[in-house]
Chain A
Amino acid sequence: MTCEEARERLDDHVNGDLSADVAADLARHLAVCQGCRTEERELRALLARASSLARDVTPERDLWPEIRDRIERRSVDAFFEVGSWATWRTAAAAVLILATTAVVSYWLGRSSVTFPPSAGAESPGATLAGGVETEFAEARLKLRAWLADNRGSLPPDSLQRIEGNLRVIDDSIAQIRAALDKDPTSPELNRLLLATYRREVQLLQRANAWSARI
């Protein structure tokens, strides 16, 4: 066996994949060839280092919040893509069920949005999301005002679609608020409410940007 043949077989050799005959030939070569023995030693050392590497590696930052946001965003988008009242009722029922389970403690522990006590509030659902909801409310008021002022600049069919989507969103917000009146401390409902506001603002922002382009 030549050195070239031996080195071609070293990978299979260290993997234990050589037949007995070829393995014996290689062993004879290694016994008399220091260069190939060095190659074999280096290869085994490399594999030992590779196998000693920890398979678990901790990321430098917490990747979960973005995963959670992407999952939630897709859920809301999927809901609004359908947008039917029947679908909404089903989704709302599911949310109410979720809100009464261990999910509540999960959201209370993980959410970046705080949920102050609702005692004394005129409308508990209106206060739970605090300043975040106020910011969304201001943004949506501005964008709704823009839409009212610029109805004439939008193609009729586009305007019809935008206003149809906004009606669905309004219905959804009303339903979420009604559910919040019954369960004002539900973090899941609050998150859904904020996600719905966010969806509305995004829709209006897209319409605004699109209108500017045309």
Chain B
Amino acid sequence: MRADEPERGWEVVRGSAGSDSEDAVWVRQARAGDLAAFERIYDKFHRRIYGLCLRMSGDRSAAEELVQETFVRVWQKLHLVEAQRNFPAWLYRVAVNVVLSDRRSARRRARFIDSRQDPLDAERPRPGAGPAGHEASLDLERAMENLPPRARAVFVLHDIEGRRHEEIAHLTGVAVGTSKAQLHRARRLLREALRP
């Protein structure tokens, strides 16, 4: 997927405050180099993007960096988006791309550091943080943090963000069946973690 592909999933962020025409005006101004207009875009959408990055990364510090990278990248690519079209959906897709590419970079770095490492390790819960060791009182957010990264990403996109498997497969570069399997795994692990 590329950030300049036609936008989809506009409905996901349509619920944010403000009007579409307001976004379009700000996007046009920002495209002309108006950083104040871009700050208004940031003010309106950053909480939404932060929520996405936080839950997909499972790490507050990483989420902050991912939000910053998303908006810097959006500023650089503003010329690719038509102001009248679904800017929020385009922004959302850029954010998902940033999070996923960051995860891929992190995996590549880990493999480079230790070539003997089992690539599947990244898919396993962190030691001592797995569902089996969790207290029943763990809330959903905490339980999500301890999901394996791919399962967490699919759970966030499907069950929180409301994406369908076909789109998740497109966004993450996996087969629809793989997306379903990861969702099944995430739901099972979360139910186990949240049981009294």
Complex CA gap A57/B54 in Å reads 8
For A51, what are the chain B residues with a Cβ–Cβ distance below 8 Å? 159-160
- A50-B140, A68-B39, A103-B35 in contact; A56/B48 too (CB < 8 A)? yes
- A43-B187, A46-B194, A67-B42 in contact; A58/B47 too (CB < 8 A)? yes
Does residue B141 face the partner (Cβ distance < 8 Å to A)?
yes
Size of the B side of the interface (Cβ < 8 Å), in residues, is 39
1/0 per position for B171-194, CB-CB distance to A under 8 A? 000000000100110010011001
For A72, what are the chain B residues with a Cβ–Cβ distance below 8 Å? 35
Query: Are B35 and A63 in contact, CB atoms less than 8 angstroms apart?
Result: no
A43 nearest CB across to chain B (Å): 6
- A55-B51, A106-B39 in contact; A63/B67 too (CB < 8 A)? yes
Residue of B nearest to A58 (CB): B47
Residue of B nearest to A42 (CB): B191
- A11-B183, A43-B187, A43-B191 in contact; A64/B50 too (CB < 8 A)? no
Query: Are B190 and A55 in contact, CB atoms less than 8 angstroms apart?
Result: no
Which of A46, A57, A61, A71 is in CB contact (< 8 Å) with B75? Answer: A71
Which of A46, A59, A60, A106 is in CB contact (< 8 Å) with B187? Answer: A46
Query: Are A67 and B47 in contact, CB atoms less than 8 angstroms apart?
Result: no
- Please indicate which of the listed interface residues A43, A46, A58, A66 has the most CB atoms of chain B within 10 Å of its own CB: A46
Complex CA gap A55/B68 in Å reads 18
Query: Are A63 and B68 in contact, CB atoms less than 8 angstroms apart?
Result: yes
- A43-B187, A46-B190, A57-B54 in contact; A64/B42 too (CB < 8 A)? yes
- Please indicate which of the listed interface residues B42, B60, B68, B180 has the most CB atoms of chain A within 10 Å of its own CB: B68
The 9 closest A-B pairs by CB, nearest first: A106-B36, A57-B51, A56-B47, A50-B159, A42-B191, A67-B71, A70-B72, A59-B50, A49-B140
A–B pairs, 20, beta carbons within 8 Å: A11-B183, A11-B187, A42-B195, A47-B159, A50-B159, A51-B159, A53-B140, A53-B141, A57-B51, A59-B50, A63-B67, A64-B42, A64-B46, A68-B39, A71-B75, A74-B76, A98-B33, A103-B35, A106-B36, A110-B39
Q: Which residues of A contact B (CB under 8 A)?
A: 11, 39, 42-43, 46-47, 49-51, 53-61, 63-64, 66-68, 70-72, 74, 94, 98, 101-103, 106, 110
Q: Name 19 extra pairs, CB < 8 A, besides A56-B48, A63-B68, A72-B35.
A: A42-B195, A46-B194, A49-B140, A53-B141, A54-B51, A55-B48, A56-B47, A57-B50, A57-B51, A57-B54, A59-B64, A59-B67, A61-B64, A63-B64, A67-B75, A71-B72, A106-B36, A106-B39, A110-B39
